Amino acid sequence: MNKLKSEIIEVLDLHDIMPPDFNFDTPLFVEGLGLDSVDALEIVVLMEKTYNIKIEDPRDRRTALYNIRSIAEYITKHQN
């Protein structure tokens, strides 16, 4: 999961944030890191390119992208 944290920080170009600055259960959107919908799309693209994972149902995005733990669990569950 630390690798995933680093990848998200890099793809979102979050210069002010380091992996130790937040934990696996820190919410990514609104509260927590305060990411927005554009950031969500970039995380989805990261998941597709790096892990070959697509979130087919847009309704799943809210729960899958809630925090680092939920993203890691979604990747693990949907990898072939």
68 class by beta-carbon count within 10 Å (0-12 exposed, 13-18 middle, 19+ buried): buried
Q: How confident is the model at residue 1 (pLDDT cuts 50, 70, 90)?
A: confident
2, HSE (Cβ side, Cα atoms, 13 Å): 4
CA separation for the pair 18, 41 (Å, rounded): 21
pLDDT single digits (tens) 25-45:
999 998 889 999 999 999 999
pLDDT band at 80 (very low <50, low <70, confident <90, very high): low
Query: From 3.40.1190.20, 1.10.1200.10, 2.60.40.290, 3.40.718.10, which CATH number describes the 2-78 domain?
Result: 1.10.1200.10
Q: Is the pTM of this model over 0.85?
A: yes
Confidence of residue 15 (pLDDT cuts 50, 70, 90): confident
Q: Mean pLDDT over all residues of the chain?
A: 92
